[in-house]
């Protein structure tokens, strides 16, 4: 008798579960789920357990609740204070810009004096797009990398900044073409990146839409509400400029969990899209996927908040203002904080006398998709964060079985991460195991809030199957979107690298 | 750190003796997680790796191992009419079970891991962990009296043809453990089907047949137990009259549910004190393992749940048809018999051979449930279906995934 009862309950549960998922899918497909409303059989249950309703400040615009994802909790959040740490040197690094030729035409030689906004180099394939100096000063070196490629042009910054003067630009009478040419010649054009591929867009392309994410959910990422402070006017101006560049809309992705700065909520002339959920909810790629996804042949543009500010400042201040607020983060920094500096600043001054020990890795960007740097290296063009974490080159006895040190994990096999999700960890760079073939399935889908099958996409890339790559949504992804999948990967696969290979293949195909 | 220094000192040279180095590397990475650091991509990695994943599955099976060892002994003594109570002669039953199960376990691992090590050294890659789980599963799905040479042959077949031929761990199409079993099933059917094979240590499963004790029982355990003042194995014992050794499924295929309940009670079947393969009889312990795997997120609950639904649905449909006594067995009682839960928890959920998309998993599990129940009830020769159903659906899993992916691709095309 008891068994019949148990079986009946299981069957009932199963039926309602399937019904629930089907309803959810239906709601998504018909677009009814946009508002974050609950269309399941037990709405009250879901609302209470996940907090599906967005708070009041998110009343304007569309909203999406994302359940998949994972917040990696790390020690070393930057304190909300702005420190001025003058760097002596700055660099423009051609390798920061994907897809340009490895030996661009450098317009300066060592010893030249440049002003902020003066042309440093241009790509021979696209000579109209100028890449300019972020600061004024003396060019001290043009360093070359492998095969005589230009690695960096180093400028010794002036104490008193001098700016290149621009002709005033008349918004009212100018055409879109005039505007594009003005942006390209003034040096702010590279602030814009095109999806797919994450490259600087062509001048004659008209984007379907332009997307800006106003919050970053990556581990220890800077709080952009803090970053935008005092520069609201330039930000709004930047949005106005972008509005002239697209025939579609300018979409702003806002954080539905915490009240964003007024500059974001009250932004004019843009569509507000609220997103609430764990990382990667703040990734612009995820936001595009849920707003107006990229189809084959589409081109959309994306910008970071500080890039929009530099773009706007060209019009509000009439100069190339490459000021950057950078978050210094990580457990191995004595004093994690925000610093005010300029694009391409030398990292040494930020970490000098600030490290807890010598055995560390310095990353420009976050721990998931940043680039490893030496202390003498420079900030990358699109990064606004430095993370310092411990190198993990040590053996751990039975490390795979009994964790002797706590480590962040998506897996419930680690009791600390399963039971206490708010604990912060001091992660290091150990690989935590060896590379294997794909074995476990479904783990990427758990942390990627997109309708994409990452493992099958990876296999399509490895097999060079163009049709599949395109069909499975390669164009919608950028490295940062798959970074969390790579973190969780049981087989320790290099997903971001594979993805970039796929993107490069497709770009070469045209 | 003294141990680490010692291990580093005895590391064999990779060029001079590649096989030794592979072997060393396999054991060393078990003792210590390597000191490699991330490069190119994420800078921190999740603590989860394949070793931990595999070991968690093995851990989930441990209750089955304990009960399996006991049940081998228990069934043996029930057949000869001694110590028929559950706890009577408990120690002797466990010891007898271990005498049977340890050689099976050792042969499986020596043969399987040996082949694994050989191929790893030959291909020059690290030893992969896949056989940890296969090797733990194989003893549990064999009859206790399986001749060891047949076992060795089946493991060899499964690992070489099933896995290495396809490229190693993660590349196989068919479940390795089930492939080993299906090899025995088709190559040596008399050792793995019928009424005779499920109880260990009997000359035959009929009244009056003699027991079949070996050197270990008569010359090591009996003196030892005698010395400890306990009774040992009775070499003169004979099988009790009327004993057949038939499994519940064997009975059900002949006479329906009435024939089953005439011999076994439902409690007995649920708790597993019945003849069968070593690890598959005790349902509560298997369900405990399954729940562990689902809780820690290693096995797919989608496959398990949909397989349960598929089997229940088919059993119910067969009830409605009701052409044979077996079809008329009430649908929920089908779960009391046979190895459904074991197949559900440990076999169907193998991530490599199952469907790899979440939607695909629902379809895959449901079809295993349906096909397995059909084979169990309608196959005239052999009254159990999960092994064949899972292998069958293993072959179809890529096709299921293909259609799921196609629908994803089409959705994207339609959107454009």
How far is Cα A165 from Cα A136, in angstroms, rounded to an integer? 12
- Which residue, among B4, B30, B41, B414, would best test binding to A if mutated, counting the most A CBs under 10 Å from its CB? B41
Residues whose CB is less than 8 angstroms from the CB of residue A22 and which lie 6 or more positions away in sequence, other chains included: none
Q: What number of helices (H) and strands (E) belong to chain A?
A: 15, 20
pTM of structure: 0.89
> Phi and psi dihedrals of B97, rounded to 5?
-60, -40
pLDDT at A42: 46
The residues facing A325 across adjacent strands are: A340
Supply B159's token pair: 């690992």
Q: Which of A240, A177, A247 is nearest to A209 (CA)?
A: A247
The DSSP H or E segment spanning A390 is strand A385-390
Pair B394, B158: CB distance under 8 Å: no
Which residues of A, range 45-104, sit inside 8 Å of B by Cβ? 72
Pair A154, A143: CB distance under 8 Å: yes
CB-CB neighbors (< 8 A) of B402 in chain A? none
Q: Which of A333, A409, A331 is nearest to A72 (CA)?
A: A409
Which residues of A, range 442-481, sit inside 8 Å of B by Cβ? 442, 445, 451-453, 455-456, 468, 471-473
Break chain B down into helix, strand, coil percent, rounded to 5.
65, 0, 35
> Phi and psi dihedrals of B120, rounded to 5?
-60, -45
Nearest CA in chain A to B415: A295
10-residue averages of pLDDT along chain A (510 residues): 65 68 58 46 42 70 91 92 87 92 92 93 92 94 92 92 88 88 93 93 94 95 94 94 93 92 92 93 95 92 95 92 93 92 91 88 94 92 93 80 74 79 86 88 92 95 93 94 94 94 90
Q: Is A177 on the interface with B (CB under 8 A)?
A: no
Query: Across the interface, do B47 and A451 touch by the CB < 8 Å criterion?
Result: no
Strands A385-390 and A323-329: parallel
Rounded to a whole number of angstroms, the distance between the first and last alpha carbons of chain B is 60
Supply A417's token pair: 């991460």
Per-residue model confidence as pLDDT tens digits over B61-81: 999 999 999 999 999 999 998
Q: How far is CA A244 from CA A171, A174, A177, A200, A350, in A?
A: 10, 10, 10, 18, 38
Q: Is A318 on the interface with B (CB under 8 A)?
A: no
Sheet with A360-364, edge to edge strand ranges: A79-84, A337-342, A323-329, A385-390, A360-364, A371-373
Query: Across the interface, do A434 and B34 touch by the CB < 8 Å criterion?
Result: yes
How many beta carbons lie within 10 A of that of residue B367, not counting itself? Answer: 21
Q: Which of B89, B60, B61 is nearest to B75 (CA)?
A: B89
Residue with tokens 């998993």: B361
Q: Which of A409, A407, A393 is nearest to B34 (CA)?
A: A393
Residues whose CB is less than 8 angstroms from the CB of residue A396 and which lie 6 or more positions away in sequence, other chains included: A404, A405, A430, B32, B33
Counting every residue written for chain B, the total comes to 416
Instruction: Give the helix ranges, DSSP H, for A137-223.
Output: 176-186
Task: Look up residue A347 and give its DSSP letter.
Answer: S
Supply B399's token pair: 């096709």
Residue B83: pLDDT band (50, 70, 90) is: confident
Which residues of A, range 415-434, sit inside 8 Å of B by Cβ? 418, 427-434
| Residue of higher predicted confidence among B298 and A85 | B298
Nearest CA in chain A to B294: A412
Which residues of B, range 55-114, sit inside 8 Å of A by Cβ? 55-56
How far is Cα A434 from Cα A432, in angstroms, rounded to an integer? 7
How many beta carbons lie within 10 A of that of residue A509, not counting itself? Answer: 9
The DSSP H or E segment spanning A301 is strand A300-303
Residue B109: pLDDT band (50, 70, 90) is: very high
Q: Which of A164, A51, A75, A30 is nearest to A423 (CA)?
A: A75
Supply A307's token pair: 């890039």
Which residues of B, range 132-171, sit inside 8 Å of A by Cβ? 167-171
Query: Across the interface, do A361 and B48 touch by the CB < 8 Å criterion?
Result: no
Burial class (CB in 10 A: 0-12, 13-18, 19+), B1: exposed
CA A264 to chain centre: 18
Q: Which of A248, A231, A412 is nearest to A304 (CA)?
A: A231
Residues whose CB is less than 8 angstroms from the CB of residue B170 and which lie 6 or more positions away in sequence, other chains included: A436, A437, A438, A439, A491, B128, B130, B352
- Which residue, among B47, B171, B409, would best test binding to A if mutated, counting the most A CBs under 10 Å from its CB? B47
How many beta carbons lie within 10 A of that of residue A435, not counting itself? Answer: 15
How many beta carbons lie within 10 A of that of residue B218, not counting itself? Answer: 13
**Min Cα–Cα distance to chain B from A471, Å:** 5
> Phi and psi dihedrals of A38, rounded to 5?
-105, 120
Q: How many CA atoms lie within 13 A of A341 on its CB side?
A: 31
Q: How many CA atoms lie within 13 A of B67 on its CB side?
A: 23
User: Over pLDDT 90: what percentage of chain B?
Assistant: 60
Supply B319's token pair: 């009830």
How far is Cα A34 from Cα A61, in angstroms, rounded to an integer? 10
Residues whose CB is less than 8 angstroms from the CB of residue A482 and which lie 6 or more positions away in sequence, other chains included: A444, A448, A454, A495, A496, A499
Supply B265's token pair: 């009670």
Residue B230: pLDDT band (50, 70, 90) is: confident
Query: Across the interface, do B308 and A455 touch by the CB < 8 Å criterion?
Result: no
At residue A356's C-alpha, the angle toward residues A354 and A357, to 5°, is 115
Q: Is B129 on the interface with A (CB under 8 A)?
A: yes
Q: How far is CA B240 from CA A392, B204, B211, B268, B277, in A?
A: 65, 11, 11, 19, 22
How far is Cα B216 from Cα B239, in angstroms, rounded to an integer? 21
Nearest CA in chain B to A450: B408
CB-CB neighbors (< 8 A) of A494 in chain B? 40-41
CB-CB neighbors (< 8 A) of B293 in chain A? none
CA B186 to chain centre: 17
How far is Cα B352 from Cα A258, in angstroms, rounded to an integer? 41
CB-CB neighbors (< 8 A) of B314 in chain A? none
Query: Across the interface, do A436 and B50 touch by the CB < 8 Å criterion?
Result: yes
CA B29 to chain centre: 26
User: Over pLDDT 70: what percentage of chain B?
Assistant: 100
Nearest to A490 among B48, B169, B308 (CB): B48
Pair A439, A451: CB distance under 8 Å: no
Give the ipTM of the model, two decimals please.
0.91
Per-residue model confidence as pLDDT tens digits over B159-184: 999 999 998 888 999 999 999 999 99
Q: What number of helices (H) and strands (E) belong to chain B?
A: 17, 1
Query: Across the interface, do B416 and A400 touch by the CB < 8 Å criterion?
Result: no
Which residues of B, range 14-43, sit inside 8 Å of A by Cβ? 29-43
- On the question of a cis peptide bond just before residue A280, with omega within 30 degrees of 0, the verdict is yes
- Which residue, among B6, B48, B411, would best test binding to A if mutated, counting the most A CBs under 10 Å from its CB? B48
Task: Look up residue A177 and give its DSSP letter.
Answer: H
Three-class SS of A473-501:
CHHHCCHHHHHHHHHHCCCCCCHHHHHHH
Query: Across the interface, do B309 and A414 touch by the CB < 8 Å criterion?
Result: no
């Amino acid at each position: 008798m008891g068994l019949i009862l148990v079986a009946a309950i299981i069957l009932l549960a199963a039926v309602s579960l399937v019904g629930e998922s089907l309803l959810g899918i239906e709601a998504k497909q018909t677009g009814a789920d946009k508002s974050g409303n609950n269309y399941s059989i037990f709405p009250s249950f879901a609302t209470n357990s996940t907090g599906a309703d967005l708070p009041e400040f998110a009343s304007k615009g569309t909203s999406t609740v994302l359940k998949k994802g994972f917040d990696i909790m790390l020690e070393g959040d930057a304190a909300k204070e702005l420190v001025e740490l003058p760097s002596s040197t700055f660099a423009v690094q051609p390798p920061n810009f994907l897809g340009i030729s490895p030996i661009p035409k450098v317009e300066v030689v060592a010893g030249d004096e440049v002003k902020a906004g003066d042309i440093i180099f241009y790509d021979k394939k696209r000579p109209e797009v100028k890449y300019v100096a972020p600061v004024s000063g003396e060019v001290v070196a043009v360093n070359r990398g492998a095969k005589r490629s230009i690695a960096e042009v180093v400028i010794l910054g002036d104490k008193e900044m001098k700016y290149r003067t621009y002709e005033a630009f008349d918004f009212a009478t100018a055409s879109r073409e005039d505007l594009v040419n003005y942006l390209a010649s003034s040096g702010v054009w590279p602030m814009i990146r095109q999806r797919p591929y994450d490259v600087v867009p062509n001048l004659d392309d008209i984007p379907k839409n332009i997307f800006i994410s106003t919050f970053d959910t990556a581990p220890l990422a800077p709080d952009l509400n803090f970053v935008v402070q005092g520069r609201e006017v330039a930000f709004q101006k930047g949005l106005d400029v972008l509005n002239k560049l697209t025939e579609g809309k300018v979409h702003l992705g806002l954080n539905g969990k915490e009240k964003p700065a007024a500059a974001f909520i009250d932004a004019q002339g843009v569509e507000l899209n609220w997103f609430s959920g764990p990382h990667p909810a703040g990734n612009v790629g995820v936001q595009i996927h849920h707003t107006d996804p990229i189809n084959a042949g589409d081109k959309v543009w994306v910008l970071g908040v500080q890039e929009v500010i530099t773009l706007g400042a060209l019009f509000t201040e009439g100069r190339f203002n490459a000021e950057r607020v950078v978050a210094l983060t990580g457990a191995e920094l004595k004093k994690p904080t925000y610093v005010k500096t300029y694009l391409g600043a030398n990292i040494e001054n930020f970490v000098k006398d600030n490290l807890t020990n010598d055995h560390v890795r310095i990353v420009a960007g976050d721990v998931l998709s940043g680039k490893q740097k030496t202390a003498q290296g420079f900030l990358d063009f699109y990064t606004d964060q430095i993370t310092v974490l411990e190198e993990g080159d040590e053996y751990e006895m039975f490390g795979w079985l009994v964790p002797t040190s706590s480590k962040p994990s998506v897996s419930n096999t680690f009791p600390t991460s399963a039971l206490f999700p708010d604990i912060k960890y001091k992660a290091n760079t150990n690989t935590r195991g060896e590379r294997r073939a794909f074995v476990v399935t479904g783990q990427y889908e758990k942390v990627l809030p997109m309708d994409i099958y990452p493992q099958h996409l990876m296999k399509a890339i490895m097999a060079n199957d163009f049709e599949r790559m395109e069909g499975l949504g390669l164009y919608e992804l950028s490295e940062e979107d798959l970074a969390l999948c790579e973190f969780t990967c049981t087989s320790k696969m290099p997903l971001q690298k594979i993805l970039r290979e796929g993107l490069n293949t497709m770009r070469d195909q045209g | 750190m003294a141990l680490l220094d010692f291990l580093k000192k005895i590391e064999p040279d990779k060029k001079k003796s590649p096989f030794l180095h592979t072997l060393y590397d396999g054991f060393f990475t078990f003792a210590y997680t390597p000191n490699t650091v991330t490069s190119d991509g994420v800078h921190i990695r999740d603590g989860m790796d394949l070793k931990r994943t595999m070991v968690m599955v093995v851990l989930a099976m441990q209750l089955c191992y304990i009960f399996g060892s006991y049940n081998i002994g228990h069934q043996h003594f029930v057949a000869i009419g001694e110590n028929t109570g559950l706890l009577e002669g408990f120690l002797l039953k466990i010891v007898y079970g271990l005498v049977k199960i340890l050689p099976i376990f050792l042969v499986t691992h020596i043969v399987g891991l040996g082949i694994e090590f050989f191929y790893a050294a030959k291909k020059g890659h690290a030893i992969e962990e896949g056989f940890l789980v296969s090797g733990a599963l194989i003893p549990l799905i064999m009859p206790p009296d399986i001749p060891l040479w047949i076992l060795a042959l089946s493991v060899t077949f499964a690992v070489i043809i099933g896995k290495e031929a396809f490229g190693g761990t993660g590349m196989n199409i068919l479940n390795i453990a089930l492939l080993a079993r299906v090899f025995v099933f088709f190559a040596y059917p008399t050792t793995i089907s019928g009424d005779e094979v499920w109880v260990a240590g009997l000359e035959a499963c009929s009244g009056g047949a003699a027991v079949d004790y070996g050197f270990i029982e008569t010359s090591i355990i009996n003196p030892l137990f005698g010395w400890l003042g306990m009774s040992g194995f009775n070499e003169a014992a004979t099988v009790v009259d009327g004993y057949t050794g038939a499994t519940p499924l064997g009975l059900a295929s002949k006479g329906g549910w009435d024939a089953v309940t005439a011999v076994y009670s439902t409690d007995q079947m649920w708790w597993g004190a019945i003849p069968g393969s070593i690890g598959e009889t005790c349902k509560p312990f298997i369900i405990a393992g399954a729940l562990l795997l689902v809780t820690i997120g290693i096995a797919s609950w989608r496959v398990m749940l949909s397989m349960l639904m598929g089997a229940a649905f088919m059993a119910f449909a067969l009830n409605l048809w009701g052409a044979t006594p077996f079809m008329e067995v009430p649908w929920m009682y089908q779960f009391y018999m046979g190895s459904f839960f074991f197949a559900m928890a440990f076999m169907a959920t193998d991530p490599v051979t199952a469907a790899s998309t979440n939607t695909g998993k629902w379809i895959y599990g449901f079809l295993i449930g349906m096909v397995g129940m059909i084979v169990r009830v309608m196959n005239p020769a052999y009254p159990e279906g999960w092994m064949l159903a899972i292998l069958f659906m293993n072959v179809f899993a890529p096709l299921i995934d293909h259609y799921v992916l196609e629908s994803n691709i089409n959705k994207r095309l339609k959107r454009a």
